[in-house]
Amino acid sequence: MAILKIYARWQAAIAISLAGLLTFSAYADTKTDHQADQTPQYGGTLVVHYAGEQRVLNPALRASTGIYEVAGKIVESLVDLDADGNIVPVLATSWVAEPDGKTITFKLREGVKWHDGQPFTASDVQYSALEFWKKRLNFSTALQLNLDAVDTPDDHTAVFHYSRPMPLDLLLRALVDLGYVVPRHLYEGTDVLNNPYNLAPVGTGPFKFVDYKRGQYIIAERNPDYWRQGYPYLDKIVWRIIDDKSSASAALESGQIDMSLYSKLSLADIDRFKQNPRFEVRSKGTEGNVFNNTLEFNFRNPIIADKRVRQAIVQSLDIPFFIDNFLYGFGQPATGLIPSSSKAFYPSNSHIVYPFDRKAANQLLDEAGYPRKAGGNRFDLKLVHMNNGEDVPLFSTFIQQSLAEIGINVTIVNLDTAGALNAVYKQHDFDIATGWHQYRGDPAVSTTVWLRSGSPDGAPWTNQYGWQSDTVDTLIDNAATEIDPDKRKALYAQLVDIVNDQLPLYFATERDFISVINAKKVHNHHNTARWPSSSWFDVWVEK
């Protein structure tokens, strides 16, 4: 088969070591900083591999780990996660919800200044919530649909008012990623989508933006007025923009960069670095961002709108084969939109709904009225893939070869990250698309927005597929406003069943991100559950 030929070439190119792979997860999750007891040193520069520019650095405008990786050190959110995934204060110091769940009050940190010297106040939170989180932030618009107002009785109190109950646990987990605050005085009265501070952010974080040369580097320097006394340790962070994975690995090995995050290196090099004591390879510290390989469908194409065609496409994909032979076995087949790591919400009856079955796929396409023509082809599809990681184009090629086996000709369109986002979510110029979905602890944070209608046109990683279901919209809204945890879990189990049956999109794999770090030089890293996206205020480097 064509797939087996690709696999043979893949094996020859990267020399897969399955035995080494089988121990990877345990290695990555148990290795700790062997020099954690050393006294931190002030000064120095941390150089980080960065790839996949999105042409925006405002985390209140676009939710993405590719943005948090840089802007999360400059702009701060109300809360964050600790090493165990628990909520910890950042710009908010405390919070309380009224019994009806419709009013939630945040006390804000005093004495905090924006990088331009202006004071941080509740007015900034009010503006960010109403103008960004509710109206523009891709994952947040559905979450904050019922946010009616934010009162500011004083400079350090923000009172959120909802028309329907907002579970406090949900809101707090969401605000970790969807609660970044921007300075009102630099945005109000401007065209916020084209505001220059979207590319030169002003925040309250431990590092201040200095420079951004597209395709080359981003630089941030120490904020001497940071509210955490004595921090940060670093003088500077430099993100070197390197899209070529081989070049990035060579830069890491030669010491030109100090670490690469979010699985941005080739799988072959990750396996090689794992064997080198100079480097630490780990997934621990990324638990807050479990991710999936996705397959998205454009329902504007009447062929795709036929459920039998979508089911045939999914049943033509041997996902266990893809994981074992293309991903070094790192991951597992997904059973739906909620990963097995989500103990609070994973349905007890979860299973693979549409297992690999090429015979069934061919039969479904025949029944749908798409017989093979002369030459064996049934119809053509255009596939656009994101550039999230090496595995996404690999998955695209795997899909292309798999669908060829059932008579579907797939043309792959290669675009940079910004171009792919525009093609899929703004121009809708695709038939199927591949990328990553990230699960952030609660389905309502960044998962159900892939299914609910009503997100602003062009918002990345939201439902822009021409598909809408009143039943699903209502179920999502009810689950997001249900205060009882058991009832919420039951509602999400219903949602999983519907999505698995209707296939508006397909979650193929369930995986953890991988980081590679210079083990001797970099300290106090990966000590929170979403460390690559966090502020790095306590990171230090050995000089």
Q: What does 35-86 look like in DSSP terms, one character per residue?
A: TTTSPP----EEEEEE----S---TTT---HHHHHHHTTTS-BSEEE-TTS-
Q: What is the CA radius of gyration of the chain?
A: 23
Q: Is 524 left (phi over 0), alpha (psi -120 to 50) or beta?
A: left
Contacts of 271 (CB under 8 A, 6+ apart): 16, 17, 20, 21, 24, 328
* Residue 101 DSSP one-character state: S
pLDDT at 390: 80
3-state secondary structure (DSSP) of residue 213: strand
pLDDT at 36: 52
Q: Are residues 375 and 345 in contact, defined by beta-carbon separation less than 8 angstroms?
A: no
Contacts of 302 (CB under 8 A, 6+ apart): none
pLDDT at 343: 84
CA 412 – CA 76 distance, rounded (Å):
38
pLDDT at 54: 86
Q: Are residues 104 and 95 in contact, defined by beta-carbon separation less than 8 angstroms?
A: yes
- The answer to pTM > 0.95 is no
Q: Are residues 356 and 319 in contact, defined by beta-carbon separation less than 8 angstroms?
A: yes
Q: What is the pLDDT of residues 492-533, one digit of tens each?
A: 999 999 999 999 999 999 999 999 999 999 999 999 999 999
Compute the half-sphere exposure of residue 160: CA atoms within 13 Å on the CB side of its CA: 32
CA 259 – CA 402 distance, rounded (Å):
35
CA 517 – CA 420 distance, rounded (Å):
29
Residue 461: name the closest of 261, 245, 291 by CA: 291
pLDDT at 70: 98
Neighbours of 116 (CB within 10 A): 10
pLDDT at 487: 95
Contacts of 68 (CB under 8 A, 6+ apart): 59, 177, 530, 532, 533
Q: Are residues 249 and 265 in contact, defined by beta-carbon separation less than 8 angstroms?
A: yes
3-state secondary structure (DSSP) of residue 458: coil
Low-confidence spans in the chain with pLDDT less than 70? 1-37
Q: What is the side-by-side order of every strand in the sheet holding 45-50?
A: 207-213, 217-222, 236-241, 45-50, 259-260, 515-518, 279-282
Q: Are residues 136 and 187 in contact, defined by beta-carbon separation less than 8 angstroms?
A: no
